[in-house]
Amino acid sequence: MINIIYTHRFLQHDTGFGHPERPERLKACVDGIKKSPHQDQLRWIEPRSASPVELKLVHSSAHVLNVRNTAERGGYSMDADTPVSPESYDIALRSTGAWLDGVDRIIQHKESSFILSRPPGHHAEADQAMGFCLFNNCAIAANYAIQVKGIQRVAVLDWDVHHGNGTQHILELDPNMAYCSLHQWPYYPGTGAEYETGDHQNVLNIPLTMGSGKNEYYSAFDKKVLPFLKSWEPELLIISAGFDASQNDPLGGMQLLPEHFAEFTRYCLELTPHLLVGLEGGYDLNDLAACSRAVAEVLIEHER
Footprint on this chain of Zn ion (rule: CB under 5 A): 160, 162, 242, 244, 281
Is 260 an annotated catalytic residue?
A: no
Q: How far is the CB of 244 from Zn ion (least distance, A)?
A: 4
Q: How far is the CB of 9 from Zn ion (least distance, A)?
A: 22
Q: How far is the CB of 174 from Zn ion (least distance, A)?
A: 24
122 or 293: CB nearest Zn ion: 122
Rounded Cα gap, residues 234 and 62, in angstroms: 32
The Cβ-side half-sphere exposure at 297, using a 13 Å CA radius, reads 20
Work out the burial of residue 116: count CB atoms within 10 Å of its CB; fewer than 13 is exposed, 13-18 middle, 19 or more buried: buried
63 or 123: CB nearest Zn ion: 123
Name, in order, each residue with C-beta under 8 angstroms of 292's C-beta and a sequence gap of 6 or more: 28, 29, 32, 33, 114, 116, 243, 279
The enclosing H or E element of 206 equals strand 203-208
57 or 92: CB nearest Zn ion: 92
Q: How far is the CB of 162 from Zn ion (least distance, A)?
A: 4
Number of neighbouring beta carbons within 10 Å of residue 241: 26
7 or 181: CB nearest Zn ion: 181
> Of 123, 162, 260, 274, which residue is the catalytic one?
123
**Cβ–Cβ < 8 Å for 264, 221:** yes
Position closest to Zn ion via CB:
281
Task: List residues with catalytic annotation.
Answer: 123
